[in-house]
Structure 1
């Protein structure tokens, strides 16, 4: 399952989080969602926009788990009328929005310290409808999604009715939802894109469809094994760990390319496929193992982090690296043996000569290239 709320970034023993939880327990634990209203005219105090604020304030009470709505419309303004005190909504519905009434509302809103730079900008060009939400926290991720689904549907209707007004979402609820959606959208786009890029470049470099197929099987197997073990261990996906599949794919490709490239080079020199695979494994086993182990150790150092999700990211990455290493020296040779992989003898040495010259150029001018 996926979690995107800010609490996952802090350990249960974090002093700051414990102090924050104590404050919320002592007083009140609330989350908020602010709907920012920004008219294209840069003027909030018009009949159309003020009526919009009134309607949006009323509709915001229908948001799931909402316990309070604050806006210019329902701000309790107090004024003295002779010997009486009159307390009413700043945008009381029974008052017609005449120019005189709007001017009075504007004067009150821009001079009242409680409202200025809180519910209305100092220039009067942007205002806010703030919704206080009390989540049951049985399943906070699902509850946040429920709130945001209602908000998005409501604002879509308002955007259609008021095309000259921009609506923005802010607050803790919107931030948690943004974390979740950004990570999930990245996972849905980056992983397939990564596979496509790998497929294209492997095809160009290896020039063997079956070698590419073998590599993709190892890559996908490494990712599935890593994420499967994380789920079996009861770990949840977060904005950090959702990037693990992309990382594992990158490292798995590096391992596979070394094995396949050495095998193909040996086959081009006239050796049999079986001998070439055996020779490739014998030459690349220790380099792949050392690289994987040192990389895994580096990721395991993230266990020194105070953030649980960063520790999870380090552990899953280290696990994925070692799984990719294991599959590249076991599953990959077996696939290469079973698949009818063949190589063509190079027509000329021009490509090899170019790479040799490029290597010599880089070594001779290393001080210039790496100042």
Structure 2
């Protein structure tokens, strides 16, 4: 395709947008009502939009990880828990024992969806006498009257490896109760058929509310310090914060963006029309999620506020040119159509580049991140369509007063834009060299940035649930569980003395593991029950606290425990004794290090259990999410490159020149690199949310560049003078770029009102990128264009623009 044809297709597209504006201007009501009818039909589906914050919702349905986790929950129950902690002076008082039993029964009877409550009430006191095995309650409702028996019970409780730092602290003054919910819920359809589903947030919140209600009368009675914490309350609290942020962000975004639009345009129409397009853009995008069955999840909860900011950009550019044409005396219909022709192509490219940046998330392993990419990209394109099909109709229908042009000329905006044009064209070499040096330096620093995923660090320090987690970990040692399934491949394969002895050795080894980033506190399996029972059957001899060599004895011990406490056994092995469960607990640590711990555990288990043909697999919330988040962070970093390549190709297509297209990406990428470099210097790590800023920002920061390059290209093709083209572009399109950047930066700065630190950082990073992108477009982009087209000045050093022929062509 020759240069003339390259220019022609752009001219045809621009003419097409102008013609569309003329057509809509003739019958605005028909177009408007047709568009609103489509929006209304889609909006009618909003009621089907659901919310999903479950662990299963993070991964694709049918994935290997989810299948394995479902199988685990079917056999052993779910690993997420509510933890109730109580500070007590002495647990071995009759008053405390009576109250704890009452609380335990009430939790089992009244908490909805409850599966099991673990506490000292149903913990095992395993002891022997006269070759008989006795399994009793660790803390009976009526304490032994015999001081000797009571002392034995105390000694057993405080020294039990099974319950110390789990149900009772090492100092004996903190007691914990663990409430576990059912793994699944069952619903009946209209035909009477039952369907199994995942326990959702609604059920979890019901349980949470009831537990809090039950605990209230016990405060100051059973204990002066009762706290509710655990993985489930943390998940509920994060969801509540997101709901609060959703409302706050949406309200503030509308208010602040409306105020900024009024201050800039000083017209009610300049406020009403963009806000309407913003609102419709959010409604249509969220309706599309409902229609396609995509629920609101953790990351997609930022979509409404994000779309409010993004949807307004196209409206601002179109209205800025329309008001300028209209105030200059053009008839409203033609002023609108001319604005469509002037900005349509640039708006199309900015919408597509923003969509491309977001679409790079679509291949993420995490469905919330993938959904953010898909619906963020669709939302950007929907905003463009709403702008070109509804905004022109509103302009044609609504009364718009003409305003004298000179009102804007005396303001500080024009002199400021002229100053940027003058500096960028007079000192292009200094600006470009400085920009390139900064680009290289920022790249070097940003390449060292580290990743993180540590939800506890996002929460306010005074948060009650966070304080409860920290208090429990300080006293008990661990809150996170790594569930490991050991499949022997045959019935009763677990009852193998050498295998169990090897597992015992593994458990003793791993509890000594510690690194700067994590440490293992406890390891629990069926081995603990066997050792406990073996000691009891040997007259409580501590030397017999071990796995016996005789498989028949092991089988007998497990049979005796199963007779008395079947749930205790079936919580550690499956019904056929083919698969054993090994639970390794740690304090809550940064998920980015999960793969390191899982790999080390897997290697150690395989090395020691391979001779017995055991298949080792990991499941549970911690290993699934930790490993998946680690992969997601890496894949997201890789998506930056994909987004940059796609956007670069589009810039080359828009400009029609490979060299200029590549050069134009420097001002677009530099702001992101600078912000990432600053984060690295401040030792701020990128997590699941802040990691998204790169692909989001690259789509947004390139918008200013596209509008500048589009305006510059048109003027340069007419005059051949890059300095003149820079000045006129900044004095016209530069105003719309400034308005858009102000609105976008304010829109994202709203995230600073979040209660979560990572959301605040996300807002600051994105707002900072947008401001830096505007400065780069005002200074670096013009300087690059002047140097890239300096041949004209070398050939015509003294020729003014007024002296040029109308058909003068640029020198390439």
Q: Do the structures match in fold with TM over 0.5?
A: yes
Q: Displacement of 1:369 after TM fit?
A: 12
Instruction: Tell me whether 113-122 or 320-329 shows the greater mean CA deviation.
Output: 113-122
Q: Displacement of 1:91 after TM fit?
A: 2.5
Q: Displacement of 1:322 after TM fit?
A: 0.9
CA–CA separation in structure 2 for the residues paired with 1:122 and 1:66: 28
CA–CA separation in structure 1 for the residues paired with 2:86 and 2:326: 67
CA–CA separation in structure 2 for the residues paired with 1:228 and 1:251: 17
Of 245, 261, 265, which residue of structure 2 is paired with 1:206?
A: 265
Q: CA 1:349–1:6 in structure 2 vs 1: closer, same or farther (change >3 Å)?
A: same
**Residue matched to 1:56:** 103
SS of alignment partner, residue 125 of structure 2: strand
SS of alignment partner, residue 128 of structure 1: strand
| Contact kept? 1:362, 1:369, Cα under 8 Å | no
**Residue matched to 1:22:** 71
Instruction: Tell me whether 119-128 or 157-166 shows the greater mean CA deviation.
Output: 157-166
Of 148, 159, 173, which residue of structure 2 is paired with 1:111?
A: 159
Q: CA 1:163–1:53 in structure 2 vs 1: closer, same or farther (change >3 Å)?
A: closer
SS of alignment partner, residue 164 of structure 1: coil
SS of alignment partner, residue 304 of structure 1: coil
CA–CA separation in structure 1 for the residues paired with 2:92 and 2:339: 76
CA–CA separation in structure 1 for the residues paired with 2:322 and 2:220: 62
Q: Deviations over 1:66-99 (max 9, x none)?
A: 2322112332223457887664323322228999
Q: Deviations over 1:102-161 (max 9, x none)?
A: 987664433110111111233445332012322442352243233223223223444586
SS of alignment partner, residue 77 of structure 2: coil
Q: CA 1:129–1:263 in structure 2 vs 1: closer, same or farther (change >3 Å)?
A: same
Q: Displacement of 1:337 after TM fit?
A: 2.1
| Contact kept? 1:3, 1:180, Cα under 8 Å | no
- Residue 349 of structure 2 is aligned to residue 301 of structure 1: no
Q: CA 1:352–1:183 in structure 2 vs 1: closer, same or farther (change >3 Å)?
A: closer
**Residue matched to 2:253:** 194
Of 317, 335, 341, which residue of structure 2 is paired with 1:258?
A: 317
Matches within 5 A, 1:44-123: 45=91, 53-62=100-109, 63-79=111-127, 87-95=135-143, 107-123=155-171
**Residue matched to 1:145:** 205
What TM-score do you get using the length of structure 2 for normalisation? 0.41
Q: Displacement of 1:288 after TM fit?
A: 0.7
Of 316, 340, 344, which residue of structure 1 is paired with 2:399?
A: 340
CA–CA separation in structure 2 for the residues paired with 1:125 and 1:331: 67
Of 299, 324, 349, which residue of structure 2 is paired with 1:240?
A: 299
**Residue matched to 2:603:** none
| Contact kept? 2:97, 2:142, Cα under 8 Å | no
SS of alignment partner, residue 77 of structure 1: strand
What TM-score do you get using the length of structure 1 for normalisation? 0.84
Structure possessing the higher radius of gyration over alpha carbons: 2
- Residue 277 of structure 2 is aligned to residue 230 of structure 1: no
CA–CA separation in structure 1 for the residues paired with 2:420 and 2:216: 58
Instruction: Tell me whether 220-229 or 350-359 shows the greater mean CA deviation.
Output: 350-359
Q: CA 1:75–1:162 in structure 2 vs 1: closer, same or farther (change >3 Å)?
A: closer
Q: CA 1:110–1:361 in structure 2 vs 1: closer, same or farther (change >3 Å)?
A: farther
Matches within 5 A, 1:152-163: 152-159=212-219
Q: CA 1:121–1:7 in structure 2 vs 1: closer, same or farther (change >3 Å)?
A: same
- Residue 227 of structure 2 is aligned to residue 167 of structure 1: yes
SS of alignment partner, residue 362 of structure 2: helix
Q: CA 1:77–1:204 in structure 2 vs 1: closer, same or farther (change >3 Å)?
A: same
| Contact kept? 1:183, 1:238, Cα under 8 Å | no
- Residue 180 of structure 2 is aligned to residue 132 of structure 1: yes
CA–CA separation in structure 1 for the residues paired with 2:402 and 2:220: 61
- Residue 398 of structure 2 is aligned to residue 349 of structure 1: no
SS of alignment partner, residue 361 of structure 2: helix
Q: Please, what is the CA RMSD of the aligned residues?
A: 3.5
Q: CA 1:100–1:262 in structure 2 vs 1: closer, same or farther (change >3 Å)?
A: farther
Gaps of 5+ in 2: 1-49, 187-196, 439-812
CA–CA separation in structure 2 for the residues paired with 1:118 and 1:229: 46
**Residue matched to 2:56:** 7
**Residue matched to 2:515:** none
| Contact kept? 2:303, 2:372, Cα under 8 Å | yes
**Residue matched to 1:324:** 383
CA–CA separation in structure 2 for the residues paired with 1:6 and 1:156: 29
Q: Displacement of 1:5 after TM fit?
A: 0.6
| Contact kept? 1:218, 1:328, Cα under 8 Å | yes
